[in-house]
Each structure stands twice: as C-alpha cells, then as structure tokens.
Amino acid sequence: MQINNLEKFKAKADKELCLGMVITLSDPAVSELAGEAGWDFTWIDLEHAPLSIETALGHVMAVRGTNTAPFVRVSGNDPVIIKPLLELAPAGIIIPMVSSAKEAAAAVAACRYPPRGVRGCGPRRGMGFGTISLKEYLKISESDPMIIVQIEHIDALAQLDEILAVDGIDSICVGPCDLASSMGKLGEADNTEVEEVIDAICAKARAAGKMIGSAVGGSPEIIDRWRSRGASWLAVAGDCGCIMSTSKGILDARTDGSGKKSIY
C-alpha cells in the first residue's frame, strides 16, 4: 500500500541491501526524522521499548510522506496482541521468538483474514478511511503487511526447514543476542559458535527463497558480513544510540587527546 511504502521497500530490497533504524523513543518526530534522513525502514519496537499502540500509530504515520517503510515488532506471538497493531497499516509485522513450524503458522494466521487465517475484520486506516473499497483492501491484505518471524533460539534450528516451509512467511529475522543466550553465551553474539549457527540459518533461508534480516551493529565489517549471508535488510542504528554516539563525539572533541581543551 502507498500508505506504508511497502512497494518501495520491496522494490529496493530486490536490488540492494535495505538499512533501517530501531525506534524506541515515544515522540513521532523521531520517525519523521528517520524518514527525512533516508532510512529504508523503521523498526518500531513494542517488545522491549515503553511504547503504546497510540505511540506506535504516530510513528507509522510519521513516515507516510517519505520513502521509509514502518515495521512494528510486537511483544508476542498472540493474535490478540497482533490484531490491533495490524490496523495501524504498517509495512511489516515482526514476531519474536518463533521456534517451531506450529508457532510460524500461528504467526501467519494472526496476520491474515479467513479462510487463510484468524484475523478479525475491522479495517480503518488500511482502507484509507473508506477511500478504497473493502474488496480492494482485502485483496491487498493477502500480502500486506509483510510477515517477519524472528529466529532467535537454538531450538528453532531443529525445525528451521519446517518453519521456512510455512506458507505466508515473507522474511526471517535472526536475533543474534537471544540466540547467543539460548546457547549459553549471553552477551556473546560474536562468538564463533553463534556465528556458525547464524551462517547455517541464513544458508537455509536463502535456499528456501526467504528474505533475511536482522538488527545488528552498523560498522562496515558487520554489514559486509551480513551482506555475504544474503541479508536483504538490516536495522543498523537506533534512536538512542544515534543521540548518544553523536553527543559523545561532540563532547569528546573538547579535548585533543592530550587532555588539552579544544575549541569546544
């Protein structure tokens, strides 16, 4: 839909790696800024950030006049949680901790109308508030929003082939931090064993024709590593991190390295 820039995102992801910003702050101006800056997508985080559904709506709306596609990460794989967030008309729904084919199928069902799924029918923003017909909207809703399942537990590896075979999954999103934790390596996402598991996950996803994404650091080395894995999209920055890194850069410039004050 034009309302969420999904077509723009897909068209770019077919040709090159898309980069995005994680949104955790409540002011929708943060998303508006992200859109103006030129990020390909935003990752509005309702799993870990203190954001309400009203706040999420503001973030989704804030990028409408840009080329940025708003993704929403929900707090859990539950149709009751997912349903009202679908009505915001985001470009993608990211569903955390999917570790089995049954859970993947439940995620798809929560995002699609019967007979394919169990989503309740009460569209509002997605219909352009009545500017498009219900029939036209329902056709669009067969592939909008993107359904993105997070593979972030070692248990998912045993069922990965079955997960990838679930009809309706558009993309997988690897969660390096939680994956490492599930392997007994909390805080060691760059551990060699964890990296090898990520390589295996991405190889299987590539073979299955699924888009690959993740939230990772923004260094050229990390981005190149994920590009080699076949990633189509990466969240490589966050609102808080951008503010902190820029602030520290300016403040650290007050000294020239020898302890002497600079022009600041």
Active site residue 48: yes
Give per-residue pLDDT as tens, 213-248. Answer: 999 999 999 999 999 999 999 999 999 999 999 999
Kindly state the percentage of the chain with pLDDT values over 70: 96
Q: Are strands 41-45 and 69-73 parallel, antiparallel or unpaired?
A: parallel
Location of structure tokens 């309702």: 46
Mean pLDDT of 11-22: 97
Domains along the chain with CATH numbers = 6-239 (3.20.20.60)
More confident residue, 255 or 46: 46
Give per-residue pLDDT as tens, 91-104. Answer: 999 999 999 999 99
* Residue 257, pLDDT score: 59
* Residue 258, pLDDT score: 60
Kind and range of the H or E run holding 86: helix 79-86
What is the pLDDT of the chain when averaged over all its residues? 95
* Residue 27, pLDDT score: 98
* Residue 264, pLDDT score: 47
Q: CA gyration radius for the chain?
A: 19
Q: Which of 7, 48, 114, 254 is catalytic?
A: 48
* Residue 254, pLDDT score: 81
Distances in Å between the Cα of 95 and the Cα atoms of 34, 75, 144, 183, 250 are 22, 8, 15, 21, 37
* Residue 97, pLDDT score: 97
Give per-residue pLDDT as tens, 50-76. Answer: 999 999 999 999 999 999 999 999 999
